[in-house]
Amino acid sequence: MKILVAEDNDVNQLLIRKMLEKMGHDVNIVKNGQEAVDAALKNNYDIIFMDIQMPVLNGIEATEEILKKLGTAPPIIAVTANVFEEDKQKCIRAGMKDHIGKPFRAEDLQSAIKTYVK
């Protein structure tokens, strides 16, 4: 599977890359919301994992932009330290399919992939 990860933290980038590559996926990592929008418009991803607090465009803004420009986008899953119910609802209202809290586990990522990629 081809997966886009939008994450500005170097440690989290390394961790999520290792987890997803160990599952056999092709992973592309970007460091901010604008790079996520640009990558989503240029490539056909099966799923996008999106941090919420990033520079340039945050994850909510990037999600809204991707959906506006693509119309039909791959499932976008929030991966964030913002774990309150109001944070999850904000992500869902922006068009994300689900919300994974940090710290995340490989099982969380795998579950999202199995649930949202057909």
Alpha-carbon distance of 67 to 76, in angstroms, equals 10
CATH number of the CATH domain containing 82: 3.40.50.2300
User: How many structural domains does the chain have?
Assistant: 1
Q: Summarize pLDDT for 93-117 with one digit per residue, the tens.
A: 999 999 999 989 999 999 999 999 9
**Contact at 8 Å (CB) between 118 and 97?**
no
Look at residue 48 in the predicted model and tell me its pLDDT: 98
Q: Summarize pLDDT for 40-96 with one digit per residue, the tens.
A: 999 999 999 999 999 999 999 999 999 999 988 899 999 988 778 888 899 999 999
Residues facing 28 on adjacent strands: 4
Tokens of 113: 């992939």
Residue with tokens 């290792």: 18
Class of residue 103 by CB neighbours under 10 A (exposed 0-12, middle 13-18, buried 19+): exposed
What values do phi and psi take at 99, rounded to 5? -145, 120
- Residue 74 belongs to domain spanning: 2-116
